[in-house]
Structure 1
Amino acid sequence: MYINAVDYKAMKKADYVIAWSKAIREFLRKIGVKNVVYLPLGIDLTFFDPTRYEPYLFFNKYPHVIDKFRVVYSGGLWYVNNREVLGVLKLLKAFKIIETKRRDVALLIQAPSKVVEMAKEVGVKNFIYVERTTNSNDPLRLSFLRSADILVLTGSKYPSVYLAERTTMFQYMATGRAILAEMTLGVRGVLRHGETGYLVEIDKPESIADAILELVKDDGLRKYIGRNARFQLEQYYTWDKLYERAKFILT
């Protein structure tokens, strides 16, 4: 985050400054902006609800993954100064480790097509590229997310990623499936290890690999995490809930 003198003065004079993550709220308070309120992005379940679609819609198009244990990433690639800052490369490196231990686990990635080249460079074999859909709430994408056994949320120490409560995280929570996430400040503002997510140390592909292998073996833990994440989303992060919070803040 880069804040100049004009930004700072404007925030100091504002009645309210809305921070869309708890980490950003704390950062602003520490630099002297006192009138900061937390209002996360959340999700509109009337627009985006993967539980309305069963995995068979996705399996009809990708039948070869039905008998695999599916590790899923669905999101973007973001380059800053020629460096990918969403951390997808780490997931590929982690999966290279997994392939030496399990042949029944597949990595499914829905991202810009450059990820195919990245997978080849790393040497990942059991990798399936899933074509992107035009709309984020396309039934095929929602079915794809529901087909996941584990959803992986990568991260980095790039400030806009490290402090963010990303839309992808809330989309994952909506699926009711287990989330494995790198432990950024933004992630820690929402997910709790062993309760609503499985959190691992950031920038450690080995830790991602170990966590995936642990979750592969523990069906009960995956279901527990997935149910809790969906419940937490419904309680605190839907647009209906956030609308009520916003009304309270502004009155």
Structure 2
Amino acid sequence: MTSPLVKDRIYRSPQALIGGVLLLAIVGWLGIDALLRGHGHAPWLALAALILIVPLVVAFTLRPAVFAGEDRLRVRNPFRVITLPWGEVASFRSGYSNEVIAKSGTKYQLWAIPVSLRGRKKAARRSAKAEADARRGRTGSAGRGSGGIGAGIGGFGGGFGGLRDADDATGPTRAETDKIMDDLREMLENRGPAESAQGEVTVRWAYEVAAPAVAGAVLLVILLLVG
């Protein structure tokens, strides 16, 4: 009896997707307007610019994704697709960018999981506030147990302050992309030794993205030189 197929976990950047759609809308509007209303070489320049810019926008915003399956990790970056069996993954590293490191020592950046320094700072503040609230709660409980009316008044004040601090501290205490990297590390630990997760690392260049961009760039340069 064969085990059921496990669907890949797909990780993408919502901000990149939204930004890509907006950029494509702006570029398309300007480009089509130039094609329809331009004079002389303007329509040809607009066409060349569209052929150059649209693939680049797609490559850096809509295309990046990380597919984490039962046996392998597939990283789709702007111009490459890297497939790493879990048995060939050495570790994951998070710094100013998130990376997967193969056992050969080669590093591959995870474009679809960008590091958010702002998210890390917010999560760190929430974590520190939660710890402070916990300490304050323990101290308040001890004070109410030994004090009288004054402790009771302090208890009311601490209670209201606790509610306000709890509201301020709501939300995750760890950045979202850091939690994703934790998930990937857990999958590596669980699936790395599996027999079905062994193999070779493969890298495929995305010619379907690079070729139109190069063609647009060449056409744009020719038009500017002819000009």
For this structure pair, what is the TM-score category when the shorter chain's length is used for normalisation? Answer: under 0.3
Q: Which has the higher contact order (CA 8 A, sep 6+)?
A: 2
Higher helix share: 2
Q: TM-score, normalised by structure 2?
A: 0.27
Q: TM-score, normalised by structure 1?
A: 0.25
When Rg is computed on C-alpha atoms for both structures, the one with the higher figure is 2
